[in-house]
Structure 1
């Protein structure tokens, strides 16, 4: 059981609070940390969608008043990514986070199949970081800064910055928002004023979604709402049939192309099934909350207005009974003739040849259609056999280059660990494959223990103080190295390093 829990700041990711707890406890082992927090030592961990929150709540100190619902709705990314899902599906994902499901929730909210991807590195605002350090003596990871499409900090209006901390790994380590990965340097803003203006409105709508204070809508209600608004703007007929080309053209006039690129929502006008054309159709395609907000902003509707408006008309269908031009047998003969004259073609190709006929038979005579229409499946090409010895040699070279880059990097040292080596290369956990024998052996050999890393940071801090012409004193070295000023064991280690004259450990 946890003996204490640090204060969880407003809009702080639960991951961030747990990372600060891990640092306060001085835990090095990830397995021991998970056992302390969840009661389990081996499990999936997620930055955006943590699971087994009921177990975590039961492990909190008895005096803690934090509830599971508070953790889910105020300290994870669930409110944003489920905002346009049905209540039933949202409740299902909520339940998986509370009880745990043993599989990645990210795939359930559209990370894998969607074209709009989350940022793969945690992000922060330099000014928020500076203010946090002045007020709290530490900083933290904010949820809003991780929302896709949020380019600026809403409080300070400066560009958000990416770190080296990965955000989408299944077995994520716990990184604090400290000086190892963050700084207070504000980047130059080169975006046009129109981009800033559009993104400010987007951020306000995203903030409303993160509040979770609204009633969910079913997909058909959402599409009906869009049809109503398009009808009001003259982009749909009175019956609700959308003038798609006019809609797309006006959308592209409203949003600059470079802004759509930043928002991962380029519209390919030469593509018949681009995302915008499909977006306002009642189909089961995955829709990102980001693109919902883009469409709403184009329609001049805020997210709050959208969710508070519950009535929608949508398309008005007219029922017309048409007398069939041909009888069933004639249609069957015509379809069999198409099959006979085009041997070897698959169903999609046959459909292109007899479009109207195919549609009618498929709808009204489905069993017969399935019986007579051939299925032609192309055999999948076999994946080439991997030369693991060659792959091992290539990965070993990359790992050596990564270690050299980490050790020679300017600024505060970064600990040489399997995770930092992977991040430097830009790969995920497949680098741990048992068949990469030499690469794994090298990584094990160069991995720094905590004492060696501390000594390297101490030496760096001493060199920095000497370079700046400052007196080298124990407490100054502690502060420059980022250890704080109250750790007596580290103070003894600094004295020992100073006594041996910067010799290697």
Structure 2
């Protein structure tokens, strides 16, 4: 059985957003049952799933590796994470050799504020409706490093209803973003957010990782995001666990001062969870999320990710 209607993806639309719109436009009343019928099992249409069985609607087995790469770069978070992932994981994704569709997994996902919740910009919703006739979920809005919209820079990305606190974790429930809460009916207004130097740098660098992915097998900033922190730490004189441990308290205070707690679930920084452990960043760089590495780089005085190459 095949889905009778597959909507064309809009520029910068997340692939799973297109899948959700397709399921909605078929007129099926139970999207979960529909997903199970079409894709074999019901896996949540979540931004935390980098490779999803539902993506096969847009990336069938007959599609070339070059075609798969183009779709993944433009319509998923694989480009953003490709700088950090092991080479064999990226190759497996490109060659469609992944059996577990929740893999590769995002490191420390349970500690990341934005990793499992779909976000949108109210201004983009209105503009997309005028231009395309419908709103949709954009890839750039799901970056864990972004707090505001990349197009409307002073407006915060919305992740929940301000009245009832409802969130969207599965697009089967809310296939299209709306400025009216589907749960309580409250109108969701744009929110102004003022960046500081650190949050502004982290957001811009995160967007750079997304946009500079290029060849997923050898992305532009692969060396920096996989090996650069230990080199930068050594350059700053943090050689050995004792010196790194001595800098740990300063790093946590620095994170709190610059509102880095916004990227993580409550109390993560205060409890000194290893997601912000400098020693772990230096030794096990791939086991911490990109936002942690970017905060560490900025703490060590990095002005541009190109400086680490």
Question: Cα offset for 1:222?
Answer: 3.0
Query: Using the alignment, how far apart are the partners of 2:52 and 2:231 within structure 1?
Result: 34
Which residue matches 2:137? 141
Which residue matches 2:261? 261
Which residue matches 2:247? 247
Which residue matches 2:112? 116
C-alpha RMSD over aligned residues: 3.9
C-alpha contact 2:225 2:293 (8 A) present in aligned 1: no
In the alignment, structure 1 residue 186 sits paired with structure 2 residue 187: no
Query: Using the alignment, how far apart are the partners of 1:220 and 1:20 within structure 2?
Result: 36
Q: Which runs of 5+ in 2 are unaligned?
A: 161-165
Query: Using the alignment, how far apart are the partners of 2:307 and 2:178 within structure 1?
Result: 39
Within 5 Å, give how 1:324-343 maps onto structure 2.
none
Which residue matches 1:44? 43
Paired residue for 2:230, among 224, 229, 234? 224
Distance change in 2, residues 1:120/1:54 (3 Å):
closer
Paired residue for 1:104, among 98, 102, 105? 102
Distance change in 2, residues 1:3/1:303 (3 Å):
farther
Distance change in 2, residues 1:105/1:248 (3 Å):
same
Matched residue of 1:57: which SS?
coil
> Greater RCO between the two (CA within 8 Å, min separation 6)?
2
Which residue matches 2:26? 25
Q: Provide Cα deviations, 1:58-77, integer angstroms capped at 9, x if missing partner.
A: 499x9xxx932222222112
Distance change in 2, residues 1:283/1:8 (3 Å):
closer
Larger Rg: 1
Query: Using the alignment, how far apart are the partners of 2:33 and 2:243 within structure 1?
Result: 60
C-alpha contact 2:44 2:172 (8 A) present in aligned 1: yes
Query: Using the alignment, how far apart are the partners of 1:272 and 1:122 within structure 2?
Result: 24
Query: Using the alignment, how far apart are the partners of 2:200 and 2:120 within structure 1?
Result: 17
Question: Cα offset for 1:186?
Answer: 1.4
Which residue matches 2:163? none
Q: Provide Cα deviations, 1:337-367, integer angstroms capped at 9, x if missing partner.
A: xxxxxxxxxxxxxxxxxxxxxxxxxxxxxxx
Q: Which runs of 5+ in 1 are unaligned?
A: 310-505
Give TM-score, length-normalised by structure 1. Answer: 0.48
C-alpha contact 2:118 2:168 (8 A) present in aligned 1: yes
C-alpha contact 2:32 2:42 (8 A) present in aligned 1: no
C-alpha contact 1:144 1:207 (8 A) present in aligned 2: yes
C-alpha contact 1:138 1:178 (8 A) present in aligned 2: no
Give TM-score, length-normalised by structure 2. Answer: 0.73
Query: Using the alignment, how far apart are the partners of 2:200 and 2:108 within structure 1?
Result: 24
Matched residue of 2:89: which SS?
helix
Q: Provide Cα deviations, 1:191-243, integer angstroms capped at 9, x if missing partner.
A: xx5x4332222111111111213342398733432234424xxxx36xx7773
